[in-house]
Chain A
Amino acid sequence: MRRFGRWLLDGVAILVLGYLFLPIFVIVLYSFNRPAGKFNFVWKAFSLEAWRNPFAYEALYESMKLSLRVAALSTLVATVFGTLIALALTRYRFRGSSAVNLLLVLPLTTPEVVLGSSLLSLFLDLNTRTGFSTIVIAHIMFSVSYVALTVRARIRGFDWTLEEAAMDLGATPLRVFFKVTLPIILPGIVAAAMLAFALSLDDFIITLFNAGNRVTYPLYVYGTRRAAFPPQINVLATAILVMSLLALGATVLWQQRTLRQRGMSVTPLA
C-alpha cells in the first residue's frame, strides 16, 4: 500500500513535469520546421532555414532590440529602487514599514489588465503620448515590488553586526558599504535583477496598454496572429531559453563560490 502510494506520487510528479515541458518541446521543435504557409502551426519538413536567418524579419529584429533596451533600463532603475527599500525594511524598524509592505504587495495582487489600464488612464489624463518612456515607466513600476521582495527574502536574517565590527575597526561608512554590505547582499540583488529583466522581456498585458505605436517582442508576437507566424519567432524563443539557462547556471555556480569564500573569510572574524 505504502509503496503503491509512493509510486503513484512519483508518476504524477513526472507527468506534471512533462506537462510543463510539452509546449517548450513544441517551441524548440517547430524552430526547425519549414511551414507550408505563413503560419508555423503545422509540421511540414525539417529545415535549418530559420536558424540560418534568425533576423530575416526586420520588424521582429527591431522589436527584440526595443525589448532588450526597455528591459535593461527598467531593470537598472527598479533594482536600485527595490534594493534600497529592501535594505530599509531589513535594517530598520520604522513607522510606516507595514504600509510600505502593503504597497509592495498590492501591485502583485492586482491583475495586470488593471495595472495597465489604470496607468493608461493616468497618461490620457495628463495628455502624455504613450511610447518608449511610458513602457519603461510601467516596467519599473511592476518590477520594483519583485526586486524589493526578492532582495528582502535573501538578506533577511543576515548578521548585520559585521558592519559594526568593521566600523569599530575604523572603516569609514562608505568603505563599510563597499567592503562589507555590498558583497553580502550582491547575490540577492543579482537574482532580483535577473527576475526583473525576465519579467520585463516577457511582459505583454501592461505593455499593450502603454506602448503607443512602439512594438516590443511580445507585442510583435501578438500581432503575428493575424498576418504570419514565422519560425524565426521559435528560434528567438529558443535562444532566449538557452541564454536564460546559461545565466541561471552561471549565477548558481558563482553564488556557491562566493558562499564558500565567505565561509572562509567570515569565520575568523566571529
Chain B
Amino acid sequence: MAGTASGGSRGSRLAPYLLVAPGILWLLVFFVAPIITLAQTSVSGLEGPWWETYQRALGNYGTHFFRSFRYALGATLFALALGYPLAYFIAFRAGRLKNLLLGLVVLPFFTTFLVRTFAWKTILNDGGPAVWLLQQLHILAPGGRLLDTTIAVVGGLTYNFLPFMILPIYVSLEKIDRRLVEAAEDLYSTPLGAFRKVVLPLSLPGVFAGSLLTFIPATGDFINAQLLGSPNQQMIGTVIQNQFLEVRDYPLAASLSFVLMAVITIGVLAYARVLGTEELA
C-alpha cells in the first residue's frame, strides 16, 4: 500500500497506534474486561470446586442451550433458502433496479426490532389472517394455532436476521466475473450446471459469512421466543436475562452467558482460521 510511505520519518511509526488508541482502549475496557469479569463472576462465592456453577448451569439449562442452537440452525437454513434466491436475483437479474432492491431489503430494518416482532404477533395471532388462511386451505386444523409454536419462533428469528444472510451472499455474487458463467455456457454447460460448478462455489464465502451472521444473533436472541412462543419455546437468552435481572443469581447467570460465548467464539475462531476474517467484515 502507498500509505506506508506518507508521513515520512516524523514519528509515523507511532501514528497508527495513536489513531487506534481511543477506540481500542474503549473495546478493551468495555468489551474484553467485562468478559473477564463475567468469567470471574461465574466462579465466585463457591464452597466446592470451580466447575460447580457450570455443572448446575448445564444440568438445569442444558435443554435451553440445545433448543437455542436448534432454533438458530433452523432459522439459518430457512434464511439461506430464502436469502440466496433473492441475493441471486438482485445480483444477476435486477439490472438497473439493483440499488433500489438492496435498499428495499434493508428498509424494513429501519423500524424497531421489537415493533417488527410485535407485528408478527399481530399476523400470527389466533383469529388473525395467517391462521384463517391456513385453516381455509386445511393446512391448519380448526382451533389450531400459530402463536406459541416453534414455527412462530423460528419464523420470527428467520425474519429478523434475514438481511444478514442476503447482504454477504449478494456481495460475493456481485464479485463473480460474468465471463466465467458465459465461458461455462459456451462450453455447453446447462444453466444449472454453470450455476453448480461456477456460481455456487464462488459464492460460498458469502454463504459462510451470512450463516454466521444469522446464526450468532439468533442463538442469543430471546425476543422472538418471548413474544411469539410459549414457555416451551424459551431460549437460553431468556434464562440469562431472567437470572441476571430478576433472580439475580449472578454466578449462575454469568456461567450461562460464558458458556454461550465460549461455544460461539470457538466456532468463529475455527471458521476464521479456515476462511479468514475478511469475509465477516
Contacts and interface: CB of A to CB of B under 8 A. Distances in A.
Q: Say if A and B assemble together.
A: yes
Interface of A: 2, 5-6, 9-10, 12-13, 16-17, 19-24, 26-27, 30, 41-42, 80-82, 84-85, 87-94, 96-97, 100-115, 117-122, 124-125, 137-138, 140-141, 144-145, 148-149, 152-153, 159-161, 163-164, 198, 201-202, 204-205, 208-209, 217-218, 221-222, 225, 229, 233-234, 237-238, 240-241, 244-245, 248, 252
Interface size class of B (residues with CB under 8 A): 35 or more
Interface string B32-51: 11110110110000000000
B208 interface: no
A17 B86 contact: yes
Interface of B is mostly: helix
Contacts of A42: 122, 125, 127-128
Nearest to A120: B244
A157 B83 CA distance: 29
B257 A24 contact: no
Contact of B114 (A81, A82, A121, A222): A222
B260 A114 contact: yes
Given A23-B116, A104-B27, A205-B241, 8 more contacts: A12-B85, A26-B123, A42-B125, A92-B16, A111-B221, A141-B27, A144-B23, A205-B222
Interface string B145-172: 0000000000000010010000000000
Nearest to A153: B281
> Which residue among A93, A118, A248 has the maximum number of chain B CB atoms within 10 Å of its CB?
A118
Given A24-B111, A160-B3, A9 B88 contact: yes
Contacts of B120: 23
Contact of A159 (B2, B22, B82, B219): B2
Contacts of B162: 20
A19 B82 contact: yes
Given A94-B17, A111-B261, A9 B108 contact: no
B217 interface: yes
Interface of A is mostly: helix
A121 B37 contact: yes
B180 interface: no
A44 B40 CA distance: 53
Contact of B38 (A22, A90, A121, A221): A121
B16 A204 contact: no
Contact of A118 (B4, B38, B110, B128): B38
A148 B250 CA distance: 33
B199 interface: no
A41 B104 contact: no
Nearest to B267: A109
Interface string B7-31: 0000011011101101110111011
B3 A90 contact: yes
B22 A84 contact: yes
A184 B22 CA distance: 23
B119 interface: yes
B35 to A, nearest CB: 5
B38 A81 contact: no
Contacts of A24: 107-108, 111, 116, 119
Across the A-B interface, give the 9 residue pairs with the lowest CB-CB distance, nearest first.
Answer: A111-B220, A81-B23, A13-B89, A23-B119, A88-B19, A118-B34, A244-B110, A91-B3, A92-B16
B115 interface: yes
Nearest to A25: B119
